[in-house]
Every structure is written in structure tokens, then in C-alpha cells.
Structure 1
Amino acid sequence: MEIRELEIFLAVVDAGSFQSAAERSFCSQSTVSETVRSLERSLGVELFDRGHRPARLTGPGEILAGDARRMITLAAELRDRVRADSDVITGSVRVGTYSSATTNFLAELLPRFRADHPLVEVKLVEMGGTDLPVAAENGQLDCFLRQTTPPLPEARFRAHPLWREPFQAVVTPGHPLAARPGPVRRAELAGAALIVTGRFLPGGLLAHPFWSSMGTTNIAYEVSHPHSLVALVRAGLGVGVSTLLGLRTAGTDGLHVTVVDDPIAVRDVALFVPCLTPPSRQAKIFIDYAAGFPVPPGCTVLGAGAPSH
């Protein structure tokens, strides 16, 4: 019985299906199925009732699930204690992230971190903001970068504030907003056809105070990525509104970009660590390193006491 087998077994338990467990474990469904079969062969029992959907544990499966999480935690604690007396820090850190944070922050941080800690491997996992906390609590991530809205429960996640970036509007050179200097005002956005990134779901776009105050009546297009937003702006379909780093990642050459003049038109980003399982020694090294690393150009340092958006 191996720790990785237990992790995949618990992924099936938590996800309710082998396919969903494969997505959470970042491997194929056949790998998940074969791993569970291998675990069943080694134990001599069936762990799941495969005729039931969603996946349902058998009696022996219930017993194993009850102790598997504790076994994984104990193994991690034992590994850390064994390494504690050594000055050499080794191992891997699984970091959840999203595209603009990877491009504008981690791409600068990782080479320096590798130079300072060459034996610590950093594994990046990019996913959506709603998926990151779930992956962390399932043991798939040691920490993750995420905007602070919607807020995460303080009892479950510890936040290390990193940076604040402004919202920006992007238009074609011939658009009326490009004809004058200075920031764009809220009233001007309220009267324009907007192109945005985000989801109109609880905990999505409208969880941010700026968008909840603006509403969605004049949103013409909702897309998932700033590249798509910029493409629609280039097509003359409206005013794009996104964050500084998102637009920087997408590329806005030839377009007019200006900051949104509103004190709540900002996005705060933090590094989150799940509270349920203490971070490993190498994860602590990475967390401290990231928390003290320079923020991306154009952003401001977000102090621990600053209000978040």
C-alpha cells in the first residue's frame, strides 16, 4: 500500500466518480481505475460498489477512507521530522496558479527560487479560481495564488497578501474613450457595451464589489480569458474591462488602454495555504519566499492590514 494509491483512492471518494478523480489528480481515468484495482488486490477486498453511481464505498472501503487521510498526514509529518535535522532542503511543492499570475509573477520568481533552493522542485498547476481551494483541501496543492474575492473562510485558509492591481479599460483607437487623456470614469462605463472576463454566478464576477455595484445590464460579452476579451475589442464590439496583469498577458498593442477611475476597481491577490494540513518544510520555504518577492510592475504591495477586494 503506497501513499499515492491512498491519495487517488481518496480523490475518488471526494469526487464521487473515477473520471472526476482523474481530473483532480491530473492523470488519466485508466490510471485512477488501475490504481484502485491495485489497492484492492493488495488488500484482498473491493473498495467501491462499481454498479452504483456516484461511486459508493463498500464496508471495507469505509474503513480505509476513515484512516487514509490520517495515514497521509502522518507520512508527511514523518518525512518532515526525518529531514528536520538536515541543512539540505529537498522535495517538491505543488503551487496552484492562473495564467496572468504565472506570466507576471511566477515566471520571475521561479528562476531565482531555483537558484537559491536547487533541490526543491516547484510543480505548477493552473486552474480556475473556484477550483483552487477544492484542490488544496483535497491535498493536491500545498498553496495557491488567487484573488481575495470572493473571500475564503479564515478557519480553512491562511492568506499571505501579495499585490493589488488596477482594473483597466481597453478600446480601439477610434473609440470615443480613446479621444481624451486620463482615466475612464464609472459613469462612462455604465453607458458602454462592456466585454468582461468572469462568471455571473454566486462567488464569481458579481462577488467583486466593483461589479456588484455596476450590475450586468450593459455587459455585451462574457469570456473566460483576456485574450478573448482583447480579440472582441479589436473587432469593435465594445469596451473591454479587465485587470492590469490580465491585459498585459493578453497583449494590447495598437489598442488604447487606460485605468478605471474608481477606488474599488482593483483586484487583490494573495497566496493561500490550507489550514487543515501543516505545510511541509519545503512548502514553508516557498511560501515565505513568495510572500517576500517583489510584486509585478504596475502593482502595489498589499500589506497584511489592507482591506481586500
Structure 2
Amino acid sequence: MSVRVAVEPDCWRRPVLAEAVARGGGTVCTPDEASALVWAEPTQAHLIGELVDANPGIEWVQLPYAGIEPVVDIVTARPAVEWYCGKGVYAEPVAEHALMLALAGMRGMATYARASDWAGPEGRNLLGASVTVLGGGGITESLLRLLEPFGCDVTVVRNRPTTMSGAARVVGPDELSQVLPCTDVLFLALALTPDTAGIIGSAELAALPDHAWIVNVARGGHIVTEDLVEALQAGQIGGAALDVTDPEPLPDGHPLWSLPNCLITPHIGNTPEMGLVLLAERVTANVALRVAGAPLVGPVYLDLGY
């Protein structure tokens, strides 16, 4: 099967993604000649619908996003087009970042990095810790592999409670309240949907042990920020290590910036430079699959929210 692919818009990512199309056996062309579109600029999601509408020959679109929040309305309005996102593409660097945040938080880096004198000892081991992971996708799969040498007792909370390699147990969301009281580290690695927005609020924070750390590499909207601030200020939990926040970017002067038990990185679990190589691999794979007439990887499921 011949696959003609437009790579748009013109930006610094375009040459790499165009090469990825060619490696998959596709032909790079202009949008009016294309049967497929690879979207190259994540910051210009608002232009995708306009380009697709202007070029009715486009049958499927490869999006650069792992989550579909930026394009839900665009995808919903165009059901005749096949949409594929970057779910799983960025899992390994994000999982690596999550592990780093957990270690930094538990070992007191938020305090030591701000210290201006020789501080006293603090910290807990990740070794042998009780870990709970919310979400059962690619980030969780990668994180479980990274956690193996630490000998953690891992519980995964996901919609489909089927076994996962590296997890001692997998439970459904209705059992979250039962696992939180014995959790040393809580990782958030799930998609943001109406069902998961605010999944961690005052009740969940109160259920955690007072030494527990929360690591969020998913979306800031999973945590009720006001409740988190109160819990951190009161010493209700050990701390929070956040690569994502709500709101995002976190405003100057927000209480989270100054809390000694809060560690923040500016949504860099996957940087543009890291992500481009990984997205290119997905583009090559999906173009090759379409050439072969096989199902593509990463279809968007609007009913599930990812």
C-alpha cells in the first residue's frame, strides 16, 4: 500500500519526522496530496482541525501528544478521520524522571538543595518500600522495570485489574482507599479524564501515612492543589515531588514553591529533544504498519479519554 504523508507545520522537528516517514516506507508530500498527516508542532494544536478540513484526502493523523487533552474537541468533531496519539511513546524518560523524583524526595533533596548551612540528616529508603502506582499504561510498565532492583512491594491501581509484571498486586480504583494507608510512595502515572481529575484530594491525603511521598508525572489536575498545600503545610504527608501542577505553569509566589517538603520540576519528564527521537520511532512504525495494511499503534479512544 502506498502511503503519502504530510508532515506539518514547518518547524525544527519537521526534518526528523520527515525522515521517519521515509524510513517507514512512506512518501512525504504536501497536505493536498496526502492520505496521512504527522503533526510536528505540539504548541499549535489549534491549527490541526483547520488543516484536516482543508485537505479531505487525509484519512489518518499521527499526533505528538501522549494525552489527548489538547485535541479532544478537534478529534470529536472529525469522527471520519483515524486519530493516533503518542501514548506509550515517552514512557521510558518519564518513568526515569519519576524514579529520580522519588529518590530525591525521600532522601531530602528538597531541603538540602535550599540549605545555606550544614543541615541535619533526614531521609528514607526506597529499598523495600511499599509503592502504589495509579495507572497501568506505558509509564507504569517502564517504572515497574526500574523499580525491580529496589525490591519494592508494588500495588498498581488501574481500570482493568489484570496482572502486570513487577507488581505484587493489581487492583481497581474502588480499592484505592484500602491501599493508601500502607503506601510509602504514591506514583501518579495515569491519563487525565473526567473520572481521574481530582482523584487525590483531602480524603486520600489523610489516608496516607505521615511519611508518604507523592510523585506526580501525569497531569496536575489529578491532585486538588489546595488540599495538597494544606497537607504539606500541616506535615500530614512526607512530601510531594511534582513534574506537573495545577495550574501549570505554577505562578510565581505560589505556596508550593516555598514549602520545604515539596520538590518541583517544570514538566520536563520528557523534554522536546528526548521526545522527538521517540516520536520519530512511532511515526516510522505506524507508516510501516499502514504500508503493510496492518493496524496502527496508539489509536485514540474518546470514550476512555486517551
Identify the TM-score tier after normalising by the shorter chain. Answer: 0.3 to 0.5
1 or 2, which has the higher strand percentage? 1
Q: What is the TM-score when the length of structure 2 is the normalising length? A: 0.33
